[in-house]
Amino acid sequence: MLVVMRAHATEEQVRAVCKKIEDLGYRAHAMPGSERTAIGITGNQGEVEAGTLEEMPGVQELIRVSKPYKLVSRDVKQENTVIRFPGTSATFGGQGLAVVAGPCAIESREQALIVAEQVCRAGAQFFRGGAYKPRTSPYSFQGLGEEGL
């Protein structure tokens, strides 16, 4: 469930709603926005009793969210999430394209370094390589595991 606070709800009203949610045995996730604050409720296995929350000062409306991925839904946060990496201009979620490249499986240190250089020269911002390869057959290559890291 998502509790949408009124545009001019005070911090005290937001804290009171969060406390009430936690008193009911759930977790409250306050998400301040540019116009208003929303409070996500997690930890519930079914419907949340909305009656007391709806009547609290500062509450505008309650939105039922039945998706299992509540905290990453557009119901909770309208804006795109942009992840920035210190020391680089690369971002995930922004306007640009971040390229991640590398081998499916790391087979040796030498192979990883050669491929990393090629990936860098080709313009990728991130290098990846598989160290653990879950397989259905115990006879198939399973990756180098810890040695591959």
CA dist., res. 12 & res. 18, Å (int): 10
CA dist., res. 50 & res. 31, Å (int): 19
- Domain spans, the chain: 2-72, 83-148
**In the prediction, which pLDDT does 116 show?**
95
**In the prediction, which pLDDT does 65 show?**
75
**In the prediction, which pLDDT does 48 show?**
77
Task: Match domain 2-72 to its CATH number in 3.40.50.970, 3.30.70.1140, 3.60.110.10, 3.40.190.150.
Answer: 3.30.70.1140
What string of pLDDT tens digits covers the 149 residues of the chain?
Answer: 889 999 999 999 999 999 999 998 999 999 998 889 999 988 877 777 778 899 999 999 998 877 667 667 777 777 888 898 888 888 898 888 889 999 988 889 999 999 999 999 999 999 998 888 777 777 777 777 777 77
Q: 91: which 2 tokens?
A: 């971002």
**In the prediction, which pLDDT does 70 show?**
67
Residues in the chain: 149
CA-to-CA separations, 79 to 72, 76, 90, in angstroms, rounded: 11, 9, 19
DSSP character for 16?
H
106 class by beta-carbon count within 10 Å (0-12 exposed, 13-18 middle, 19+ buried): buried
Q: Nearest to residue 59, comparing CAs of 42, 77, 32, 38?
A: 38
What is the greatest pairwise CA distance in the chain?
65
φ/ψ (deg, to 5) at 84 = -105, 145
- What pTM value is reported for the model? 0.51
